[in-house]
Amino acid sequence: MSAPLTVRKSRVESTVALRVRKVVKSYPGVKALRSVNFELATGEVHGLVGANGAGKSTLIKMLSGADTPDSGEIEVHGAPMNFDNPRAQRANGIAAIYQELTIIPQMTALSNAFLGAPKSRLGLTDRSAMEAAFREVARGLGVAIPPWVKAGTLSVANQQMLEIMRAILADHDVIIMDEPTAPLGPFERARLYELIGRLKASGASIIFISHDLDEVLSLCDRVSVMREGQLIATRRAADSSKDGLVELMLGDVKISHGDKRTARASAGVLQVDGLRVSGRVEGVSFTLGRGEILGIAGLVGAGRTEVLRALAGAEPTSSGVMALDGVPCAWPRSIRDSIARGIVLAPEDRKHQGLVLSRPGVANFVMADLRSVAWGPLMRRGYQRSVASALARRLGFNPARLDIAAVNLSGGNQQKIVLGKWLHRSPRALLLDEPTRGIDLGAKQEIYQTIRALSDQGMSVILVSSDLEEVVENADRVLVMARGRQVGLLGAQQASVETILKIIFDVERRPAPKEAAA
């Protein structure tokens, strides 16, 4: 049974947890917020939606105290927010769980969960009390995260759950969740939905940001829509529809949905037999056809990312038999090996593994193939910009933003750069791990249109996504994984979300194999 959740009582009794009045924020060349007015009621789950660049992330930075408005007012439980005192910010009781994780990889899960707010007794850190509280909240969330494990060794999904645990353990009564379900599978999402309901029942107020409009409408009491730095409308979720929200979010931009892929016979480009990653993946075999999109489906922890990393040469303990165009070759032992063979990976964690955040978009776009834009030791700046601009237009990235540091770009634009930097190399096999994580509907459409176009031009793609509908709609075939093993291989006509989940759940109900349990 889930542990009970409680939140602290507000310092000031108020029916409004947060109130924003005429807040304005500008950055060089960009007016991020334009006189925004917003209210979060006490005990409310309030959805905040909008396309990438609409101003959502800027607004939550203001609310969490991470940045300061140029003008306007923000009140917390009726009291003005003090932007000059970080301690006062913490006392406001606002926690922000950002789309880009803030976990410190070298620290333990326990230390991350109590970061900045350790429990103490007689002036000394009380580790036993911290561990007891940690385990209680973990039970309530239904997650198995050992308190003393290094946070950097956890999956992205468990790191996300650790961020949520930090907010609960700090006893905050206003929680901002920015794309909290993006890295989660169906089980983890269900647990988070239950948690949000329990937090609301206990008196917490939640701002819920997500590009999944179905979950916004099902979880939230009200929904506010942002576009181009303005808050366009606030509606009751019960009176809203997905199509209506899309219309408000995108204005005149229309979204068209592609038809489901149909499988095409083609010669094998990449043959893999007996792929193994010690202790995590066993017995994965497949042939990837020329121009084929092969989806890999499974729950969090099934081994999908490990398969991609093994093919990309990023898993030192991996092994197997590989052939390219029918010619046997040694198993890749480094990322450099795989790149030389034309096998490249766009990783799930774009922030730490896919980009140089301090560098501008123009540099990141050509980062994977610097020789092509250099003349000996000298960079050909004009040609570099020409190449980056062409890649940007191909992916729906505004070339005018090429000089902005990657850290200051929206998640969608960051992901476009991660994909674009490999397109310049025209790889033989493109491995995509969660390519649309945290991306709005318009950007998703642009990326999948690009993936389909690359496939039509003969590039082979392996696609991993926690959104099973995306896998089914865009893959020619679907390889199903559970418990680190391949448990099915479905053609496009046989693949459906229901079929995939049935295969997975049938495996999950059986006792774990001895090797996997070890």
- Which helix (H) or strand (E) segment holds residue 442: the answer is helix 441-456
Q: Quick one: pLDDT at residue 13?
A: 60
Which pLDDT tens digit goes with each residue over 308-328? 999 999 998 999 999 999 999
Q: Quick one: pLDDT at residue 514?
A: 53
Q: Rounded to whole angstroms, how far apart are CA atoms 170 and 288?
A: 48
The CB-side HSE value for 184 (13 A sphere, CA atoms) comes to 23
Q: Quick one: pLDDT at residue 398?
A: 86
Which domains, from first to last, does the chain contain? 16-250 (3.40.50.300)
List Cβ neighbours of 246 (8 Å cut-off, separation of 6 or more): 213, 255, 441
Please, are residues 398 and 392 in contact by the beta-carbon 8 Å criterion?
Answer: yes
SS3 278: coil
Which pLDDT tens digit goes with each residue over 326-373? 999 999 999 999 999 999 999 887 877 888 888 888 888 888 777 777
- Averaged pLDDT in 10-residue chunks for the chain of 518 residues: 50 77 84 93 93 82 87 90 65 77 89 86 87 88 86 83 84 85 75 85 90 90 93 95 84 55 68 93 94 90 91 93 94 93 88 84 83 77 85 85 86 84 87 84 80 90 89 93 91 87 72 48
Q: Which two tokens stand for residue 24?
A: 């304005």
Q: Quick one: pLDDT at residue 11?
A: 47
